[in-house]
């Protein structure tokens, strides 16, 4: 379908006959994501509020389909790059966000961190040095004022504002640390996401949301006991990149529940479903 034919379709979006507009919308959807730039151009040129609203809805639906396809491809490819998964999640609110932009920001932070590391450091000293860079030099911290804000799940916003929730702060900390060859991994605790330093016989935990406090397996035992939960292996061991992104999406659903946005809840549930395995219900 050429540009003239698409323009003709768009001109029918404010038709009073709902059967006509439904057929037109279905036809535009069938054209796929490649039609988005033309729809955006038509939105700018339109003087009809009805047409503009319907174009906005169509553009959003097509962008959502792109996001779900990207995330499914990421999962099916082994979910190897955590930053890529986080970037795809952020495109839900920021569809034009460049992956190279967030990648360059993480790389720049790694260079900043590298300057403050000595050549010989034990495990605890490595984490203390990371804490100094992360909270001091880079200025990251907990977003306690807007804890349930959806923006806390958007890595680009957290990189810009330097404030986030436990899991997004952990992800950024982890991405920088791993580029420094520091063996840290995410851990799916109930109601809290933390990191574990795990190398050979050394393992301890880091609460990134609480300024990098180091704690032990015994502390997790006490935490689980306070929650009246039975201990499970995944409370203590590294989780996968896929599990991290799934939890970010669950946090995003909770944010929209708190904000009273049912349509966004449905959309993010659809996104999450696209990367869930059968029977997967882990929180």
Residues 86 and 71 in one domain: no
Domain tally for the chain? 2
In a domain, 108, yes or no: yes
Q: How does pLDDT run along the chain (283 residues), one tens digit per residue?
A: 677 877 778 777 777 777 877 887 788 888 877 788 888 888 788 878 888 888 888 888 899 999 999 999 999 999 999 999 999 999 999 999 999 999 999 999 999 998 888 778 899 999 999 999 999 999 999 999 988 999 999 999 999 999 999 999 999 999 999 999 999 999 999 999 999 999 999 999 999 999 999 999 999 999 999 999 998 999 999 999 999 999 999 999 999 999 999 999 999 999 999 999 765 655 4
Residue that terminates a domain, selected from 22, 54, 76: 76
Strand partners, 202: 199
Phi, psi of 198 (to 5 degrees): -140, 115
In this predicted structure, what is the pLDDT of residue 280? 61
Tokens 């996104």 locate to: 271
Q: Specify if 116 maps to a domain.
A: yes
- Per the CB < 8 A criterion, the answer to whether 70 and 95 are in contact is no
Q: Between the CA of residue 110 and those of 94, 130, 177, 213, 234, what are the distances in Å?
A: 24, 10, 8, 21, 29
Predicted pLDDT of residue 7: 78
- Cα separation, 257 vs 267, in Å, equals 12
Cα(274)–Cα(257) distance, rounded to whole angstroms?
20
Q: Are 238 and 226 in contact (CB under 8 A)?
A: no
The most distant pair of C-alpha atoms in the chain lies apart, rounded to whole Å, by 74
H/E stretch holding 130: helix 123-131
Both 89 and 44 in a single domain? no
The answer to whether residues 128 and 256 belong to one domain is: yes
Q: Helices (H) and strands (E) in the chain — how many of each? A: 12, 6
Which domain-ending residue is among 76, 96, 124? 76
Domain assignment present for residue 279? The answer is no
The pair phi, psi for residue 29, each rounded to 5°, is -60, -40
Domain span holding position 22: 3-76
Q: State the DSSP string of 245-256.
A: HHHHHHHHHHHH
106's tokens: 């993480």
Q: Are residues 57 and 21 in the same domain?
A: yes
> What's the CA gap between 118 and 33, in Å, rounded?
49
């Amino acid at each position: 379908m050429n540009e003239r034919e698409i323009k003709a379709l768009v001109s029918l979006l404010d038709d009073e006959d709902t059967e006509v507009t439904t057929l037109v919308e279905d036809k535009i959807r069938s054209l796929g994501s490649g039609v988005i730039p033309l729809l955006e151009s038509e939105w700018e040129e339109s003087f009809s509020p009805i047409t503009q609203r319907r174009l906005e809805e169509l553009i959003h639906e097509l962008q959502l389909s792109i996001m779900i396809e990207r995330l499914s491809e990421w999962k099916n490819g082994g979910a190897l790059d955590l930053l890529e998964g986080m970037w795809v999640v952020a495109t839900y609110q920021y569809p034009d966000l460049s992956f190279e932009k967030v990648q360059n920001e993480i790389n720049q932070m790694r260079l900043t961190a590298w300057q403050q590391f000595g050549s010989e450091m034990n495990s605890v000293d490595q984490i203390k040095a990371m804490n100094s860079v992360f909270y001091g030099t880079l200025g990251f911290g907990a977003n306690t004022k807007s804890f349930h804000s959806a923006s806390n799940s958007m890595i680009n916003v957290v990189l810009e504002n330097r404030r986030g929730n436990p899991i997004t702060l952990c992800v950024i900390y982890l991405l920088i640390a791993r580029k420094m060859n520091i063996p840290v991994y995410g851990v799916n605790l109930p109601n809290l996401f933390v990191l574990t330093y795990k190398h050979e016989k050394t393992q301890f935990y880091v609460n990134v949301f609480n300024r990098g406090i180091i704690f032990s397996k015994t502390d997790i035992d006490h935490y689980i006991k306070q929650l009246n939960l039975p201990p499970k292996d995944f409370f203590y061991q590294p989780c996968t990149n896929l599990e991290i992104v799934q939890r970010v999406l669950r946090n995003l659903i909770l944010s929209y529940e708190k904000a009273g946005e049912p349509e966004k809840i449905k959309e993010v549930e659809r996104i999450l479903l696209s990367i869930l395995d059968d029977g997967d219900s882990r929180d």
